[in-house]
Structure 1
């Protein structure tokens, strides 16, 4: 291709890091690192009929799609590639990104890793023995073909659900992606790999320990979330919003004193 964005604009963007960042939402150094890591996975062989699309262009097309949310039709006009070709490029490149980056950026925490996360929660929020905050997010999508209303959610748009556990500084620790948008958060959590493992006690959490600075009894490490989920030994939720006394209200809206949390764990 000699007239698309890659051939006409990319060289200019490379000379202007600020423009490159605005266009792909990524620095040149980060782009080069990604290309180095996934280049072989997305490389295709040339044929005697035509040259294959380079790994560089495949990555640019995918990053532009992810950064801007533009349609394949719009990208088709920019890159002079077929719509079905762009669809295939985005899918295969996203799979390559996931496979290459998963172990580095979403590794399953070890027992020491959970302890480090809990220590950070204690430092940032003064919430003891907390190893993650759980919530779900509806990601807006176009209705997949032949799915009826499976992806149509209560907010009146089509979506797929991202369920995630985040640490005290907001990066994800664990994610579960792809549940139908019509499913409510509580059911999503119970049926997701995350929920099943938490309720079964299979998250690899360290054993109970006393709260920092106390000589009290050992307390379990917990994940926190809103009141829509069923509580268990390693899942803590706030009191419901009705009929709260002073201590319960404090527990629900802000970091809690150890004695308040201890009382709430006696379920």
Structure 2
């Protein structure tokens, strides 16, 4: 734009500045209260100072309210005491670690919202969210090593004995699968978390033993990812390939002292066939040996499905879509897996609900790689063993 003189330009510039100065400011909502009246009554009417004091006197009610015994609760409290302790200030007194743990356990156990915690414990909604995140992070950082076993040769042998006893599958050292954890659609995520079941989710990929205890977990994969893709990108697969999982060498098993059988992890048809990973035979026109193998493998594989069921029924946060940020959702899933193992070892007796009549009718044909010759040889060895050396009385009725 051309101006007749420098004075005209300065005049316009000054007028523009004056117009901007006179532009009305947006009305800001003034804070009415420093502390909400509901929160002010926390020490008198909050759950921690009312109901919690009562249930502490009844072991059965305490177990129902916190999903663990009082002894386990106190042990857990000691483990996270230091990282979750905050200093009091001149403005207000900090929330105790015991109350923080109780708030988090109720959130995970009931699947309630932060608004529900706000009214029940009389704390701010944002405070409830921060407490849950803080405690979940502390559980993963300070209880994980106690909850998850060190996977060495000795531990693998112990797990193998459990599967042999409870599922009649010798040399089995774990069952693997993935579980979709339902989420409210994450912001700016596109379709990455949208899975083949037509909802948004994050995948919990896990391995368990015959006591339904998780021995390995991988959390955070997109819902659109397949189980096989997650497995191939996991540290479990990496260690299996480079030989650092410390899996025992192939060895003879009961009834066949002349043949070496590999120690194997069992999975469904979504996984590849590897030397230390077995999956069902694919196809519809299977021989008797292959049908029987698929049945016997399904009995061992169901342990991971049962473990997921136990996890979701105890920590009912998984009964609804989780409505939090992705990072917090990941912390919640990890914390629940830690609590699952921690509580199961201390407070629960093993309940084997895998029935002898379990069939493999729900298995579907998959087009994944058939595996290398050594893997196929291991699969055929077990198929022959389950028919000719170690048959079960009821297996013919089940296939």
Check whether TM > 0.5. yes
Alignment correspondent of 2:155: 113
Deviation at residue 264 of structure 1 after TM alignment: 6.1
Alignment correspondent of 2:85: 43
Indicate the SS of the match to 1:254.
Answer: helix
Q: Are residue 194 (structure 1) and residue 236 (structure 2) matched?
A: yes
Q: Are residue 62 (structure 1) and residue 62 (structure 2) matched?
A: no
Q: Are residue 262 (structure 1) and residue 381 (structure 2) matched?
A: yes
Q: Give yes or no for contact 2:289–2:383 (8 Å, CA) kept in 1.
A: no
Q: Are residue 166 (structure 1) and residue 208 (structure 2) matched?
A: yes
User: Among 155, 159, 166, which residue is 2:197 paired with?
Assistant: 155
Alignment correspondent of 2:95: 53
Normalization by structure 1: what TM-score?
0.91
Q: Give yes or no for contact 1:247–1:260 (8 Å, CA) kept in 2.
A: no
In 2, the alpha carbon distance for the partners of 1:8 and 1:118 equals 47
Q: Which has the higher contact order (CA 8 A, sep 6+)?
A: 2
1:124-139 equivalences in 2 (<5 Å): 124-139=166-181
Indicate the SS of the match to 2:190.
Answer: coil
In 2, the alpha carbon distance for the partners of 1:96 and 1:197 equals 27
In 1, the alpha carbon distance for the partners of 2:254 and 2:240 equals 24
Normalization by structure 2: what TM-score?
0.62
Deviation at residue 130 of structure 1 after TM alignment: 1.0
Structure whose CA Rg is larger: 2
192-201 or 5-14: bigger deviation: 192-201
Q: What are the ranges of 5 or more consecutive residues in structure 1 without an aligned counterpart?
A: none
Q: Give yes or no for contact 1:126–1:255 (8 Å, CA) kept in 2.
A: no
Evaluate the alpha carbon distance shift between residue 110 and residue 263 of structure 1 in structure 2; reply closer, same or farther with a 3 A threshold.
closer
Evaluate the alpha carbon distance shift between residue 78 and residue 245 of structure 1 in structure 2; reply closer, same or farther with a 3 A threshold.
same
Can you list the C-alpha shifts for 1:34-72, whole angstroms capped at 9, x where unaligned? 112211221111111111111011001100011011111
Higher helix share: 2
Can you list the C-alpha shifts for 1:138-169, whole angstroms capped at 9, x where unaligned? 11222333222222211122211111111122
Aligned length: 264
User: Among 75, 78, 83, which residue is 2:120 paired with?
Assistant: 78
In 2, the alpha carbon distance for the partners of 1:38 and 1:66 equals 17
In 1, the alpha carbon distance for the partners of 2:124 and 2:187 equals 20
Q: Give yes or no for contact 2:265–2:277 (8 Å, CA) kept in 1.
A: yes
In 2, the alpha carbon distance for the partners of 1:49 and 1:38 equals 25
In 1, the alpha carbon distance for the partners of 2:169 and 2:205 equals 22
1:171-250 equivalences in 2 (<5 Å): 171-250=213-292
Q: Give yes or no for contact 2:280–2:297 (8 Å, CA) kept in 1.
A: no
Indicate the SS of the match to 2:178.
Answer: strand
224-233 or 94-103: bigger deviation: 94-103
Q: Give yes or no for contact 1:131–1:223 (8 Å, CA) kept in 2.
A: yes
Deviation at residue 260 of structure 1 after TM alignment: 7.0
Indicate the SS of the match to 1:199.
Answer: helix
Q: Are residue 5 (structure 1) and residue 40 (structure 2) matched?
A: no
Deviation at residue 10 of structure 1 after TM alignment: 1.7
In 2, the alpha carbon distance for the partners of 1:259 and 1:179 equals 30
Deviation at residue 7 of structure 1 after TM alignment: 2.0
Q: What are the ranges of 5 or more consecutive residues in structure 2 without an aligned counterpart?
A: 1-41, 299-376, 385-399
In 2, the alpha carbon distance for the partners of 1:191 and 1:40 equals 35
Evaluate the alpha carbon distance shift between residue 19 and residue 263 of structure 1 in structure 2; reply closer, same or farther with a 3 A threshold.
closer
Q: Give yes or no for contact 1:201–1:234 (8 Å, CA) kept in 2.
A: no
Q: Give yes or no for contact 1:165–1:175 (8 Å, CA) kept in 2.
A: yes
Alignment correspondent of 1:33: 75
Q: Give yes or no for contact 1:152–1:158 (8 Å, CA) kept in 2.
A: yes
Indicate the SS of the match to 2:257.
Answer: coil
